[in-house]
Structure 1
Amino acid sequence: MRNRGPQPNDPSLFADRYLPALRAATDDLCWLLSRDYGTDSALQLVGNRYRLNKRQRMAVGRASASQAAIASRQERRVDLTQIAGRTVAIDGFNLLILLESAFGGGLILESRDGTYRDLAGVHGTYKHVRHTEPALLRVGEALRVAARVIWYFDQPVSNSGRLKTMLREMAETHAFNWQVELVYNPDKELIAMPAENVIVSSDSWILDDGGAWCNLGQELLQNDEIWRITI
């Protein structure tokens, strides 16, 4: 079975010798975002200055945020120890692919807002990998104390229906209180969650426009031996 690991050039692109430039680029992008520069134009400016390639620019973009956004996200963050008895709504592919990437040896970014982010993506089709079930089990055990867990997956993504079936079978086998929803736009569903619910995502738009959220990816992986860099 396939693995969701690093791309072939990642060990070179994110080697120790490039980290100072990547961190400086992230500093600059955060500074520009804090002064209301447009994200795309600011990232292009920073990327050109530090001569970053496309994948390095992606990493800098995903790791960055304005100071106001970081402060707002931290104010609404809920620790894993605080979710007992609450409904937890999960940005399904966002969390699952992060864990699959981490378990498969892929690069994980520790971002300026404290979240962990990967450089992978679905691109219209989801493929089950050998770390899918271990990732789901890790989530299930961590969230047993929640009153209910709702997974939201993108319905247009190919194989999302098969993934929904897998989650339902796992929930029955392990007595996880899971509900699985296939929707056209999980972001909107999560942002519209009632204030008492807790969102799980590292998507910037969801974190900025939603309510309380749990940095579950970081909490689940912080003690694992994974390929993680801070930029």
Structure 2
Amino acid sequence: MPKNRGKEGRDSYLFGKNFMQDKIKEAVFDMSFLLERGYGESSSCELVGNRHKLNKRQQQAIKGMSAAKTAVIRRKEKALLKESLSGKEIIVDGFNQIILLESMLSNAYLFEGKDGAIRDLSSLHGTYKSVNQTEEAISLIGDFFKNHNSEKIIWIFDKPVSNSGRMKAKLLLIAKEYGYNWEVILENNPDKLIAKSNLVAITSDAWILDRVESWFNLMKELMPDDYEFVVTS
């Protein structure tokens, strides 16, 4: 089992304070400008990455942080306050949120997008493997929504991803042990299912955020006040 989802070897240089973070912010500004004018995400990222001499990992970061101004406005209009969660059913983008929290608990670099959503640099590549922080990440989510009196949590996981079945079994055991009102669904197209629901979505996936009726920025609530993350302003 991997130890954690912490920083990779050169991350402290690639995303460190002062010069590098200023460089990242300039790149996010440029890419967001292009997105607002209709340029594609991949071509915009490549163009801006070349201009600022960013490597692939830095380009991955600015892609997650950048967004067209109109998209940012729409996403923020749909974002709910935690006071609105009481009595609501919640739909969670399972791997997206668990991996983000695993990264946070491993002290990895996290990145705040123009839309306020928090993102990281982890990726599944068809396989999910638990780490030392997995159960703590799940507990943070469960306790938060229980404390805010949410009616139910519906977890959605990518069915084709290896070990999704094991994750479902783990979550159902935790729900039984702690009295959580949880449902766990394995779905071939989880993004589409979340986007089409009329429930409060918990995700940092930009494609989903553009299509849901409402969402809640859980990561921003769960991050410690002194956590250092890369911001766009």
Class of the TM-score when normalised by the shorter of the 2 chains: over 0.9
* Matching residue's letter, 2:171: L
* Matching residue's letter, 1:137: S
* Partner Cα separation in structure 2 for residue 6 and residue 186 of structure 1: 28
Aligned residue pairs total 228
1:229 alignment counterpart: 230
1:66 alignment counterpart: 68
* Partner Cα separation in structure 1 for residue 54 and residue 5 of structure 2: 24
Stretches of 4+ moved more than 6 A in 1? none
2:85 alignment counterpart: 83
* Partner Cα separation in structure 1 for residue 47 and residue 4 of structure 2: 34
The question of whether the paired residues in 2 share the 8 Å contact of 1:102 and 1:227 is answered with no
The question of whether the paired residues in 2 share the 8 Å contact of 1:33 and 1:65 is answered with yes
* Matching residue's letter, 1:188: K
Q: Deviations over 1:45-95 (max 9, x none)?
A: 111110000000010110000000000001111122211101100000110
SS at match of 1:149: strand
* Matching residue's letter, 2:191: D
Per the normalisation by structure 1, the TM-score is 0.96
Pair 1:19-2:16 in alignment: no
Q: How much has 1:224 moved relative to structure 2? A: 4.6
* Partner Cα separation in structure 2 for residue 121 and residue 39 of structure 1: 18
1:160 to 156, 164, 174: 164
Q: Equivalent residues in 2 for 1:1-231 (5 A)?
A: 2-16=3-17, 17-144=19-146, 145-194=149-198, 197-221=199-223, 223-231=224-232
SS at match of 1:228: coil
* Partner Cα separation in structure 1 for residue 153 and residue 83 of structure 2: 15
Q: How much has 1:226 moved relative to structure 2? A: 3.2
* Matching residue's letter, 1:6: K
Q: How much has 1:110 moved relative to structure 2? A: 1.3
SS at match of 1:218: helix
* Partner Cα separation in structure 1 for residue 162 and residue 227 of structure 2: 29
Q: How much has 1:121 moved relative to structure 2? A: 1.2
Indicate the percent of aligned positions where both proteins have the same amino acid. 40
SS at match of 1:176: coil
Q: How much has 1:228 moved relative to structure 2? A: 1.1
The question of whether the paired residues in 2 share the 8 Å contact of 1:106 and 1:227 is answered with no
Per the normalisation by structure 2, the TM-score is 0.95
SS at match of 2:91: strand
SS at match of 1:229: coil
* Matching residue's letter, 1:11: S
